[in-house]
Structure 1
């Protein structure tokens, strides 16, 4: 299902483009809100099926293993779905159990949230669903904005939860963000739905619970419109965030190259715009938002730096020749291990990916029309670690020069000079970071392929 706006209101929910739909997933904890959403979605799916559609609803339950009642909750949810299915609602049930416990220093809330999101995404993918509905409502959105504000969050945090968001082919949709909590309570009463009451919701150790138990009653008494107003503020923040992202994308198109982020050009922007672009780039590199302290440090130190290194998440930022790059720190260990390897014979005559775990990477072989290596030269090749003294010719009309010199002239930093060198006999023919030796380019019209060395990320090596 490609659309992400399945319901317009609680009383008469709608699933957009039902002709395209076959499966809609719903995150189902068994609590009041998710029970209402699952029931309303299934009722509409049945109505659409009566009109000729073929739609199934998949209830996804995550067993966190944190509460002594978790097994009972799982049994309740499975039983409820079975009862509804027997009553004619097109519902299927699937569950997953989280393994392990929070790491040292990690909050239970963060661990449970990350694990739940991963489990929901995995179950959706396994079932073939590309739409996942979440039961967050207006009060949840208002609480999120308040909590983020109290943590000193920027626009991204104050934007709260998006109504819809695509992540790796799955649309996470919150169709009831504009509905007050009271509307869901009324729906549950009207349909006499049974649901779970999680006793941990009264535990004041958790920040959201403290907000609900202590702050909300007084806030609503003083400002009855607080919930709607704060949710509206989150929508304005979402617009501001979208604008920031558009500006960052435009700036990065000019600042980025294969060698990294151009620092001089970055710092030529206004401080706010430079920080915005840097923040977006760091998120792209590491896969998560960069700490504000790192952004502030970079903006303070980069103007005076010619070389430098900064820790960033699971990786490291390096400044070299005016370019900033991010690398996984574990590559240092991989490079040291690879340098100790002896010559490895390899046949690259088959297209596709050739993994070499011992070298912490693999070769990608793809057909090309020009500029590649002749297909009849792909057998009987050797991989070797760099020893020094190797000769390489970068351009067809160039001269044979030391590999070290070519690296320096092309501005290839030391941390990009990794990966095995590829030889045919005693002749170096391919260098990661530089490409094919110009003397060995295939003739025009000759069947040929491109070669690329891909270093494994840390989690691939684990």
Structure 2
């Protein structure tokens, strides 16, 4: 409520100085978990109405989640994921580009300690970023360096009506135990603890950024030319620490977060592994070593065993795509009838622009297809291209992407050299996992 008050007043003052009017949207998430949730929603709606009467260009939005956690599911994690998803949906629907969050320095200190107690690395210890681009929006935490006491003083000075969530006193939640039982004792022994811990989180953010930059440099050196796999020999030549860092970053780019102990095992086993070795990642995916290439694959029977006469003749991508996708965003599409997913990954070159993607249809491999892998090459039979690139059998029967009667993309090989978008244009490369 303090952040909302400060924001609409700042927007009003800017408009009074001749700046363009800046509407403010208050986004409220009704989790459906507290018996007071309806009262909180009504309180926020009434407060927005009162501030509108004071001249605020303020719009109130609410989204009901109705969360029903299953046995063994983390209620905190479920609520957090649902909340951010709802905030992003409401922001986009309202035409917003920026979302402000009211986390403060004490929140940051708690997050740092929680992550440390969970054994997190630099990325986890970095806690909450002050600014981040996600879901096509810019998320900002303008008060992340401010202590809670300053916000409480602001609330008192402006007599802002607010609500205290009764669940914040429930010690069953890890953050509440830390806030209620650990932080008071820590402040008594070390009065500067919140400031020092928040500073440690900032240094961890720098370290995490440097580690990501190093991983990108190493990825450029070990990535297979087709971009779909890693060269195992080049990966094994790195030091164990850089190997683990590279694998963490690469898998995170595929939407996979793995335990440090798993990365340690893989980093140790990979240099001695034989072709055909596999490492399960989760219930659906695994890493597979084949002819010196480490690639991500689906677990279970290889897709090469799927009979093409049981697959749909043709599936248009356009109905499966959203109206648009921001540059740098990835997307995963499930193709009806296919036991796998088509991943659209942002790339700097060698991809397709959005309009070209929307014109494609997916068809099963029938034989006789021609594909040109390089601009200086010539079209060759798809079978020969697979052999030259060392594409394993279980990836050869992925759907082929066509525009009319022209083969545009073979997910295991990339986009035909004659169809690739010009460098610099926002573009995506299809990749199949199934």
Please report the TM-score for the alignment, with normalisation by the length of structure 2: 0.78
Instruction: Tell me, yes or no, if the aligned pair for 1:428 and 1:437 is still in contact at 8 Å.
Output: no
* Superposition deviation, residue 341 in structure 1: 2.2
Deviation at 1:410, TM superposition (A): 2.7
Pairing partner for 2:291 from 312, 321, 324: 321
Q: Does structure 1 conserve the Cα–Cα contact (< 8 Å) formed by 2:303 and 2:398?
A: no
- Give the CA deviation at 1:289: 2.5
Gaps of 5+ in 1: 1-34, 365-380, 443-451
Taking only aligned residues, the RMSD between alpha carbons, in angstroms, comes to 3.7
The correspondence for 1:49, drawn from 11, 15, 23, is 15
Cα distance change on mapping 1:51 and 1:321 into 2, 3 Å: same
| CA distance 1:455–1:260, shift in 2 (3 Å) | closer
User: How much does 1:333 deviate?
Assistant: 8.3
Once the two structures are TM-superposed, the CA of residue 191 in structure 1 deviates from its matched residue by: 0.5
Match of residue 407 from structure 1: 386
CA-CA distance at 1:321 after TM superposition: 1.5
The yes-or-no answer on 1:272 pairing with 2:238 is no
| Match in the other structure for 1:418 | 397
Q: Once the two structures are superposed, what CA deviation does each residue of 1:308-351 show, in whole Å capped at 9, x if it has no partner?
A: 22222442222112221123448x58765563427837999xxx
Aligned mates of 1:215, 1:141 — CA distance in 2: 15
Q: In structure 1, what is the equivalent of residue 45 of structure 2? A: 78
Q: Which position in structure 1 is the counterpart of 2:308?
A: 339
Q: CA 1:428–1:163 in structure 2 vs 1: closer, same or farther (change >3 Å)?
A: closer
In the alignment, the residues of structure 1 paired with residue 246 and residue 316 of structure 2 have an alpha-carbon distance, to the nearest angstrom, of: 43
Larger Rg: 1
| Residues 61-460 of structure 1 aligned to structure 2 (within 5 Å) | 61-257=28-224, 258=226, 259-285=228-254, 287-305=255-273, 306-313=275-282, 314-329=284-299, 339-341=308-310, 344=313, 357-359=336-338, 383=363, 385=365, 407-420=386-399, 432=410, 433=412, 454=430
For residue 344 of structure 1, give the secondary structure of its aligned residue in structure 2: coil
Alpha-carbon shift at residue 246 of structure 1 (Å): 1.1
1:107-150 residue CA offsets vs partner (Å, 9 max, x unmatched): 00000001111111111111121111111111001111111111
Alignment deviations for residues 393-445 of structure 1 (CA, whole Å, 9 cap, x no partner): 879999987x656533430112321235699xxx998893458999xx99xxx
SS at match of 1:358: coil
2: CA distance, partners of 1:253 / 1:155: 22
Q: Matches of 1:220 and 1:436 in 2, distance apart?
A: 58
1:384 CA displacement: 5.0
Tell me what 2:349 maps to.
Answer: none
TM-score, length basis structure 1: 0.73
Deviation of 1:83 (Å): 1.1
- Once the two structures are superposed, what CA deviation does each residue of 1:235-293 show, in whole Å capped at 9, x if it has no partner? 111111111111111111222132411221122112211211111001001x2432223
Tell me the CA shift for residue 219 of structure 1: 0.9
Output the CA distance in 1 between the equivalents of 2:186 and 2:246.
37
Q: Which runs of 5+ in 2 are unaligned?
A: 323-332, 345-360, 420-427
3-state secondary structure, aligned to 1:357: coil
2:38 pairs with 1:59? no
- Say whether the 8 Å CA contact 1:429–1:437 is kept in structure 2: yes
1:373 paired residue number: none
CA-to-aligned-CA distance 1:172-231 (integer Å, 9 cap, x gap) = 111111111100000000001111111110100001111111111111111111111111
Give the conservation status (yes or no) of the 8 Å contact 1:342–1:385: no
Q: Distance in 1 between matches of 2:335 and 2:203?
A: 49
Cα distance, 1:95 vs structure 2: 1.0
Residue 295 of structure 1: CA displacement? 0.8
**Residue in 2 aligned with 1:36?**
2
Query: Aligned in 2, Cα 1:189/1:419: closer, same or farther, shift over 3 Å?
Result: same
Q: Are the counterparts in 2 of residues 421 and 428 from structure 1 also a CA contact under 8 Å?
A: no
1:374 is matched with none
CA contact 1:361–1:453 (8 Å) conserved in 2 = no
51 and 325 in structure 1: CA distance in 2 versus 1, 3 angstrom threshold: same
Residues in 2 aligned to 1:159 and 1:437: alpha-carbon distance in whole angstroms: 41
CA distance, structure 1, for counterparts of residue 413 and residue 140 of structure 2: 44
